[in-house]
Amino acid sequence: MKLDKNSAQYKALLLGTLCAVCGLLLSVVNTITAPIIAENALATVKASLEQIYPGANFKDVTADLISQDETGLVDGIYEAEGKGYVFTLHGVGYNSNGFTFMVGFDNDGKVSGYTALEQQETSGIGARAFEDEYISTITSLTSSDPVPLLSGATLTSTAVQKGIDAAKAIFNNMQGISYDPNAAPAAPEPEGTLPLGEEDFSKNDVTIEEVSNDGTTAVYQCTAKGFEGTNEAFVTVNVAEGKIEMISITAFGDTVGVGDAATSDSALAAYQGAGIDAVIDATTGASFTSRSVRAMAAAALNTAAGKDPSGMNGGDLPAEGTLGSEDFSENEVICRVWSNIDSSAYVYKCSAKGFEGTNKATITVNKDKGTIVSIAVDEFGDTTGVGDAATADAELAKFEGASLDSAIDATSGASLTSKSLRAMAAAALQAAGN
């Protein structure tokens, strides 16, 4: 039967024939181009894959195996022929932008490599999950081992752990390796395992100021950098025993609902009776805030013992600087010539504000040498039994021979009285030099 070219039947048959031909042509084109596309796609990640298996022949088996991923965390699966498999994965840690990484398994199940592909986690915190120490931890595992978390980077390492677990599920199923998929991740190694006097708090930027000190009990106002901001506290120390009596948080700069676990009554109670040799465990989930509290505790204990708050100096508290560079603007110093013993020795009567009141002293200066000969305290306006420690003979002897280029250590427990004496000494030296 001859069909009319204008009939619906003819047009339908023609359209069907054209579709079949186009489909055939597309199939042929796809057959030719698919391997090329796949090869090009593999080439874009090959450099990364070779970080785990240098020089290996890789095959992209993602399409064959991705259906086994129930988590949605696996991005790609690549076979290193004769060696093992590499999984590319993604996760979200503390930084909401997330990160990508890869992990490899040898055919026998040993972790062959682990590294970040792209990450913007916070330096010193989440970023530690992609640094050498944690990389060594991961590469010491097998596909049967639970992934340990990282203290101080719990959110990021938890995301890493979930991604690796997703890869393990696929790999172990392929290789017929039995393991417990529900095994809990190993707990992170706790911080705070060193005595307060041995921990490194250099990154906490601790400040400390003596509020009161009656010779038995001292109160210090301290600040220390935590996770997001600065935390502040009053630390009360039994000076005679070198023990903390109480810590009271006065300002909290970290994450509410997270870091404040380290400032709870039960967490702070751990410091009661603690000395510089005490080990205070970090608060789980609030390691950075906990560290800031330990830093303030250590600074207070060191200060009460007459040591550098950082613990790096075994001697007296250091002065703020040399006599000529220290800021004495708050001491309201007055210094005038009292007598001129000879052409070189000048005697000055000076006064300076201390902790509670004004202290006065007679200061003799060798004008030719620009050095102090002696200091004698005439009037003491601070707390008896506390500030007068700075006026003891041994403390005043520190000034003998001092010039404006000298740094005079503060007196432990009497820092403000000590500063008033330094202020008067500096004023007398400056006057003698004019």
Tell me the C-alpha distance between 370 and 41, whole Å.
78
pLDDT of residue 104: 97
Tell me the C-alpha distance between 409 and 322, whole Å.
10
Q: Stretch 384-393: mean pLDDT, rounded?
A: 83
**Cα-based angle 285, 288, 290 (whole degrees, multiple of 5):** 80
Contact 413, 304 (CB under 8 A): yes
Q: Quick one: how far is CA 321 from the chain centroid?
A: 28
pLDDT of residue 47: 87
Higher pLDDT, 3 or 268: 268
Is 240's pLDDT higher than 60?
Answer: yes
Tell me the C-alpha distance between 213 and 354, whole Å.
14
Q: Stretch 167-172: mean pLDDT, rounded?
A: 97
pLDDT of residue 59: 93
pLDDT of residue 70: 94
Contact 49, 73 (CB under 8 A): no
Q: Is 217 exposed, middle or buried (0-12, 13-18, 19+ CB in 10 A)?
A: middle
Is 191's pLDDT higher than 60?
Answer: no
pLDDT of residue 352: 95
Q: 390: which DSSP letter?
A: G
Full DSSP string of 84-140: EEEEEEEE--SSTT-EEEEEEEETTSBEEEEEEEE--PPTTTGGGGGSHHHHHHHTT
> 247 - beta bridge partners?
235
pLDDT of residue 313: 44
pLDDT of residue 315: 42
Tell me the C-alpha distance between 178 and 161, whole Å.
18
- The label of the residue with tokens 């000048």 reads 346
Contact 377, 396 (CB under 8 A): yes
Tell me the C-alpha distance between 110 and 168, whole Å.
11
Q: Quick one: how far is CA 96 from the chain centroid?
A: 20
Q: Stretch 9-22: mean pLDDT, rounded?
A: 65
Q: Which amino acid would we find at residue 374?
A: S
Residue 159 tokens read as 């995301």
pLDDT for 98-153, tens place per residue? Answer: 999 999 999 999 999 999 999 988 777 788 899 998 999 999 999 999 999 887 68
